[in-house]
Chains A and B, each alone.
Chain A
Amino acid sequence: MSRVAWIRIAVIAIAIALLEVCCRLGLIDHRVVIPPSEMADALARLLISGQDNGQIARTFGIVLVAAVISVIGGFALGAIIHALPRVRQSLDPFFATYYAVPIFIFYPVMIVIFGLSAIPIVLMGVATAIVAMIIATLNGLDRIPHVLTKVARVHRMGRIGTALLLKLPAAAPHLFTGLKLAVSYAFIGVIASEFILAPAGLGRVISDAYTDFDNRQMYALMLLLIIVATVVNMFLHAVDQRWAERRGIGKT
């Protein structure tokens, strides 16, 4: 492991230790924040008891569905928009300002249309994530060296062969960046939607625990979300780094 990675881990460990000490010494009210060790204990008990396993599976399942739809749909839409320059020209300003608009204002509309089910939550996850993938796809396709098209013609490759064997790998670093962003945004979109209004799911359980002053459950589930989101992100980052090093882009 690199020195920077060790420093990073040390910073996190020190922050956790500091929070632990502050909580234990009573510098932070127990009703506000519980010590990290207690959060971990509560999480372990919660997972062993299995009482929220259904909620956990539901939320992560929805995140997965939203992320998959966003990545596949975003790539497909990005490729179509890239092939239609005029459409792209007209859409570019929307993409540029998309994340400046609080898209959660549309959540109540989706509930009205689709009812209080998983569908509006999936749609909010997709709405939050898909544009990142579209933008990444457009960037990736823009940056494919023109010479690769000529190489494809010299090898007498058809459109599909060129797309799959040359364009897709050439655009892959940008597509992977889109995938990383889409997964992160899908997490945010789904959890936030569940938090606002949902029949079930981790966001809803955390919200209920908050209302009931059940700090142990609330922090345990928050810790779980942080751990899962971090592990997923670290995994994607590691894959990205490996590819980047191969391609000589280097560590980021």
Chain B
Amino acid sequence: MSVAAPGEDIHASLSGVTRVYPGAAGRPAVHALGPVELKLKRGEFFAVVGPSGCGKTTLLEVLAGLQQATVGTVTFEGRAVAGKVPDGIGVVFQEDASFPWLTVWDNAAFGLRRNGVDTAEIRRRVDDVLAFMGLTDFARAYPAQLSGGMRQRVCISRTLVLQPRLILLDEPFGALDAQTRLLMGDEVLRLWRRTGATILLITHALDEAAMLSDRIGAMSARPGQFLEIVVTGWPRERDSKIVSDAGFGEITGRLWDNLRGESMKSLGHSAMAAG
């Protein structure tokens, strides 16, 4: 299914993208993704939901340049992305990717130091981002002294200081409890409004996708393809209170209608694989 947005400013796109993992040690190749068509509009918040193992993370990694598409083309700001992460893309991973040997401040400053940014500018940007993420009081702390949610905020800070224009979030709140996830969702919305960046969020939580996004792509079981793109129609100024909106239930219901059968298929695959 084509997911074009005619007349819009296209920030990144996947065109006919397929990802096949070659078989190893006599095992057959795994067709993980595609073909997928996606056009991300500049400044939009797009979420991808789908059953486990449908290729959501693969889609993100192909878009980020962490993996190469087997077939198809990936572009970011009009340029082809080919196996290298382009400047302007920031990624936050599901796993705790904070550096335990560095303080929160040094974690956030890591990328800027690597890029040779001058000290005063590093201080300004890091202090600003830590204040925005509510981490100022923990600047001298080490990640081990923080909760899981705060560690994930450290990782988001490390991404934000680089001022990416496209932020890719790979289930960043997957390991957090429900309340913390709602609050983190509010923070992501805040940073999205402030930075004006385009955000692609991978999540398995339908409510999270429905609350945060302008558009939500529902993916099929492996090999993942978009079944439907749901437009939420939320105003840009929104927060987690939107979960009590009547339209919220409609959106999550529509997503579940798409995904129920696919999740069953995915479970069947898992059961067969386990058997």
Q: Does A227 belong to the interface (CB within 8 Å)?
A: no
Q: Does B64 belong to the interface (CB within 8 Å)?
A: yes
In residues 195-252 of chain A, which contact B (Cβ within 8 Å)?
Answer: 243, 246-249
Binds A, one of B14-22, B83-91, B182-190: B83-91
In residues 169-188 of chain A, which contact B (Cβ within 8 Å)?
Answer: 169-170, 172
Is B97's CB under 8 angstroms from A248's CB? no
Is B90's CB under 8 angstroms from A154's CB? yes
Residues of chain A within 8 A (CB-CB) of B97 are: 145, 147-148, 150-151
Give min CB distance, A152 to chain B, whole Å.
Answer: 10
Chain A interface residue count, CB cutoff 8 Å, equals 21
A65 to B95, CA, bound (A): 41
Question: Known: A154-B90, A247-B144. Is A145-B99 also a contact (CB below 8 A)?
Answer: no
The DSSP consensus for interface residues of chain A is: helix
Q: Does A111 belong to the interface (CB within 8 Å)?
A: no
Query: Which residue in B93, B111, B145 is a CB contact (below 8 Å) of A248?
Result: B145
Residues of chain A within 8 A (CB-CB) of B100 are: 170, 246-248
Give min CB distance, A239 to chain B, whole Å.
Answer: 13
A246 to B93, CA, bound (A): 23
Give min CB distance, A124 to chain B, whole Å.
Answer: 35
Q: Does A156 belong to the interface (CB within 8 Å)?
A: yes
Query: Which residue in A147, A157, A170 is a CB contact (below 8 Å) of B114?
Result: A157
A161 to B110, CA, bound (A): 12
Query: Which residue in A145, A154, A166 is a CB contact (below 8 Å) of B85?
Result: A154
A155 to B155, CA, bound (A): 13
A157 to B93, CA, bound (A): 17
Question: Known: A145-B97, A150-B93, A172-B101. Is A155-B144 also a contact (CB below 8 A)?
Answer: no
A182 to B173, CA, bound (A): 42
Which residue of chain A has its CB nearest to the CB of B114?
Answer: A155
Residues of chain B within 8 A (CB-CB) of A172 are: 101
Is B111's CB under 8 angstroms from A155's CB? yes
Is A247's CB under 8 angstroms from B89's CB? no
The listed residue with most A CB atoms (<10 A of its CB), out of B65, B85, B89, is B85
Is A151's CB under 8 angstroms from B85's CB? no
Residues of chain B within 8 A (CB-CB) of A151 are: 93, 97
Query: Which residue in A148, A170, A248 is a CB contact (below 8 Å) of B143?
Result: A248
A25 to B167, CA, bound (A): 79
Q: Does A153 belong to the interface (CB within 8 Å)?
A: yes
Give min CB distance, B30 to chain A, whole Å.
Answer: 18
**Interface digits, B146-164 against A, CB 8 Å rule (1 contact, 0 not)?**
0000000000000000000
Query: Which residue in A147, A166, A170, A248 is a CB contact (below 8 Å) of B144?
Result: A248
Is B101's CB under 8 angstroms from A246's CB? yes
Which residue of chain B has its CB nearest to the CB of A161?
Answer: B114
Give min CB distance, A65 to chain B, whole Å.
Answer: 29
Is A147's CB under 8 angstroms from B95's CB? yes
Q: Does B138 belong to the interface (CB within 8 Å)?
A: no
Give min CB distance, A164 to chain B, whole Å.
Answer: 12
Is A156's CB under 8 angstroms from B91's CB? no
A154 to B96, CA, bound (A): 15
Is B85's CB under 8 angstroms from A169's CB? no
Residues of chain A within 8 A (CB-CB) of B110 are: 155
Q: Does B230 belong to the interface (CB within 8 Å)?
A: no
In residues 98-122 of chain B, which contact A (Cβ within 8 Å)?
Answer: 99-101, 110-111, 114
Which residue of chain B has its CB nearest to the CB of A246?
Answer: B142
Is A154's CB under 8 angstroms from B101's CB? no
Q: Does B66 belong to the interface (CB within 8 Å)?
A: yes
Is A150's CB under 8 angstroms from B101's CB? no
Give min CB distance, B206 to chain A, whole Å.
Answer: 25
Give min CB distance, A34 to chain B, whole Å.
Answer: 48
| 19 residue pairs A–B, Cβ–Cβ below 8 Å | A147-B93, A147-B95, A147-B97, A150-B61, A150-B91, A151-B93, A153-B65, A153-B66, A154-B66, A155-B111, A161-B114, A165-B114, A170-B99, A172-B101, A246-B100, A246-B101, A247-B142, A248-B142, A248-B145
Interface residues of A (CB under 8 A from B): 145, 147-148, 150-151, 153-157, 161, 165-166, 169-170, 172, 243, 246-249
